[in-house]
Structure 1
């Protein structure tokens, strides 16, 4: 019963995280999420706090992402784009995410989209606080620079007409973070 509740509480969002980290590789994302949920369900008694459990599960997914995928064929990019389009990832955002490593994508998704606390990001990334802060700031900056480069070529300022919900969410969070730093 506890295992079913654990899966219900974390399954859908964990699968979305895995899809983004694997850049839309649906079979791999499903496998990684299922493995993490199985491991988490076995340790559910130790993972009672929802945010810590979410972080632990994401860390498990990230640690098990293959470093290279040799099984991609000519159809894979379109299938991956389609899988991520269902999460609000437009083509331009996909192109930027494709340039990132799985760790960078995990940092962006867990830190900027899901809004995990720095302590929880340490668990996801298996890194100390200073490294997590640096990685989050660098990934945010690189995403915004790379994503806004095509927009600067086509229009001056603001989100492009093709900006998807994912990019809008990331930009909103980044803008809020930057405005808090300004005196």
Structure 2
């Protein structure tokens, strides 16, 4: 099973746990977007769709921040049948100007339907980009397992999440259950 790492707005900086996941998990790679600073939903969905098809086998998606919205939009396309699972970390509230920049508004509205694959949504109580109660509601709508990470900021390098072994444990658990579902 392939693991596709999906950074959010501005990509994942050096030291970000997503970079560590690529270095430590066989079959993991970052899906590179053409422009990390000016995201366009249709372009990002097309790039992710092509990356999924290129794998030629089921994939697990590992999304951070804006990329969680990307996965929610992809879930409504036929490509979603190639997705075995998704780890959704620190979603960004693309619908709320008080929480996120104008650059992400074209990812609104967030789809609210149940995701057609297994998923785990991990959220922080003090994430500046998403109220945790709203993240919990999204997890319920999407049929995702919800993980409360406590006060962990935006769950990125700036909030002290470099290698993030707890995140790797969640990824490994998702890959194991997704692997059983596709077998």
Please indicate, yes or no, whether the TM-score normalized by the shorter chain is above 0.5.
no
TM-score where L is the length of structure 1 = 0.29
Higher relative strand content = 2
Higher relative helix content = 1
